[in-house]
Amino acid sequence: MNDIQDSPFTRKLAGYVTLSPVELEVLEQLHKRRRSFAAGRDLVQQGQSEQAAYILSEGWVCSYKIQQDGTRQIIDFQIPGDFLGLRSVLLRTSDHSFEPVTNIQAVEVLAGDLFQAFSQTPRLANAILWAASRDEAMVVEHLVNIGRRDAGARLAHFLLELGARLALVGMGSRAGFDCPLTQYHLADALGLSAIHVNRVLRQLREDRLLTFRNGHVTFDNRLRLVEIAEFDEAYLDHEGPLLK
């Protein structure tokens, strides 16, 4: 029972609502099927109909769509505590694919169990809807990022957001964070070419704004970065449970 209270997913939900023992028990029930996946092997194929979603407990994943011409758009990255494929359960078809960036551990959640959990504890449904809303807010911010900012601001905003999310689950700080992503991941996420990402990263490094090297991101001048990226972390943050 203490086990479930320590999972990143529970910690995240606990930020939205104060979970009752009954609700923790329901969550415990959902956490039965633990599974591992190797880096690079897709969890859910685009267009495929799936009955299961996953809750990520360890490692990084990206969700993306592939076009016919081979170009890829990464929608979002998932870090521990994040839901994978909630929409594929609700809509019965997955409209994008998931690729583990690193080796990962995840919990499989069947659609039926999820719906049952929802009717048992409506407040849990609220909490999950809440988490999903935060995720959508991030996609929206991502949209603004790609639609209206130049490459430097895009990279700065993306890395600041990632840092803030990681800090919330204890995997980073204002100074920086460990990051397993390649420059190709960044390019596919930001709608740029990998070559241009490389050049812009060099520029940011030379301007003493941020350094991305050897799998680690360091914010050399966080204040200035926040400024050029117009980064506002309000949409990620909140003060304690909003439902009691």
What does the binding site for a second copy look like in residue numbers (CB under 8 A)? Answer: 47, 65, 67-68, 71-73, 75, 86-87, 90-93, 95-96, 115, 118-119, 122-123, 125-126, 129-130, 132-134, 136-137, 139-144, 146-149, 190-191, 230, 234-235, 238, 242
Cβ 43 to DNA, closest distance in Å? 18
Q: Residue 199 interacts with DNA (CB under 7 A)?
A: yes
CA 122 – CA 114 distance, rounded (Å): 11
Pick one of a second copy, DNA, none as the site partner of residue 68 (Cβ within 5 to 8 A by kind). a second copy
Cβ 14 to a second copy, closest distance in Å? 16
From the list 25-33, 48-56, 106-114, 177-185, the region that binds DNA by CB under 7 A is: 177-185
From the list 24-32, 121-129, 156-164, 192-200, the region that binds DNA by CB under 7 A is: 192-200
Q: Residue 195 interacts with DNA (CB under 7 A)?
A: yes
Site for DNA in 148-167 (CB under 7 A): 150-152
Pick one of DNA, a second copy, none as the site partner of residue 178 (Cβ within 5 to 8 A by kind). none
Pick one of a second copy, DNA, none as the site partner of residue 201 (Cβ within 5 to 8 A by kind). DNA
- Please give the biggest Cα pair distance in the chain: 56
CA 83 – CA 56 distance, rounded (Å): 6
Pick one of a second copy, DNA, none as the site partner of residue 133 (Cβ within 5 to 8 A by kind). a second copy
Buried residues in 186-202 as b, exposed as e (16+ CB within 10 A): bbbbbebeeeebeebbe
Residue 124 CB partners (closer than 8 Å, separation 6+) = 13, 17, 19, 23, 26, 27, 117, 118
With respect to DNA, which residue has the nearer C-beta, 84 or 200? 200
Per-residue x/- track, 206-225, DNA (CB under 7 A): -------x------------
Interface with DNA (CB under 7 A) = 150-152, 182-184, 187, 191-196, 198-202, 213
